[in-house]
Structure 1
């Protein structure tokens, strides 16, 4: 992990939060239709509850020596998701294009999608999954990075999040993906499946 990349992501998220808090419009309000809408929705699900187990299943089936990696990869994505869940519940930021958009409402134990904007869990999980797969299969790294970054970008383009939410999610995914790779490096020699 590059600490400088993590610091840059966090600093960019902080700068964007300041810009967003000043009322400067940062959302796009685009409208997608037909196949474009369906394809973007598909790409925006990389790292989520269907694509992550599918990626793990493919690793499990096609690369038996790396079956343990499939489990740690799921663990890294789950860790990113859990971290986002906790931060979302603590911050309570209202999503774009809603009443009080961008406002931080504070902690809540109750699920309410409208107030779960920061950080972007989709972005975090997509990046965590991409980092792990790119480490396992360097030849396909550009594809995995494309999928992860496209998911993050689409969360912004589809107005699900403010730019700072996406950057915060990418930072969380980057950190958790790196942690999962480190765990694999240290623990896999001790496991047998």
Structure 2
């Protein structure tokens, strides 16, 4: 898996369009930051007084599971970021922490996408598309391997489903 991840990273980041893609990826990646999900949850709560409260409660439960799990896994596995492991690669941004597995941005994006799919099915394609784009942006920025994204998506979806079951 690491060899395939390394080949994919080297190929992507050595493409002539890599810097241009990174500029766009930076914008998409910002959507994976926490404040966007808080604002979106508050907007849903405000606009949908019936289902919005349940959505907000489920989102809080899902993130209460996801955040400590992704932080714990990063510190347990301690996989170095691509640019730290490969001298020939440079990241386009400075990540917030040292470790790459799993992707926290992707996990958070898939928590929200999964909940939006369940509570608001007409938004499913948009929500999942955005979650995939957040994950891909992290690879294009050089801070995650593709398998980090897959693990983050799995973690986020699992935490959302568990929160739905608990709440």
TM range (shorter): 0.7 to 0.9
Question: How many Å separate the matches in 1 of 2:161 and 2:2?
Answer: 25
Question: How many Å separate the matches in 1 of 2:2 and 2:31?
Answer: 25
Q: CA deviation at 1:47?
A: 4.4
Question: How many Å separate the matches in 2 of 1:164 and 1:18?
Answer: 11
Question: How many Å separate the matches in 1 of 2:49 and 2:163?
Answer: 19
Alignment length (residue pairs)? 151
Question: How many Å separate the matches in 1 of 2:135 and 2:64?
Answer: 17
Question: How many Å separate the matches in 1 of 2:162 and 2:7?
Answer: 35
Answering whether residue 26 of structure 2 is matched by residue 51 of structure 1, we say no
* Equivalent in the alignment of 1:134: 117
TM-score (norm 2): 0.81
More helix by share: 2
* Equivalent in the alignment of 2:19: 31
RMSD: 2.0
Kindly provide the CA deviation profile for residues 15-59 of structure 1, in whole angstroms up to 9, marking residues without a partner as x.
Answer: x33534xxx5221222137xx72x432322334311111111011
Runs ≥4 in structure 1, deviation > 6 angstroms? none
SS at match of 2:137: helix
Question: How many Å separate the matches in 2 of 1:74 and 1:47?
Answer: 16
5+ unaligned residues in a row in structure 2: which ranges?
Answer: 87-95
TM-score (norm 1): 0.71
Answering whether residue 59 of structure 2 is matched by residue 73 of structure 1, we say yes
5+ unaligned residues in a row in structure 1: which ranges?
Answer: 1-15, 102-111, 185-193
Aligned partners of 1:47 and 1:77 also within 8 Å: no
Question: How many Å separate the matches in 2 of 1:173 and 1:68?
Answer: 18
Aligned partners of 2:25 and 2:140 also within 8 Å: no
SS at match of 1:87: helix
* Equivalent in the alignment of 1:117: 100
Which of 6, 31, 48 is equivalent to 1:63? 48
SS at match of 1:175: helix
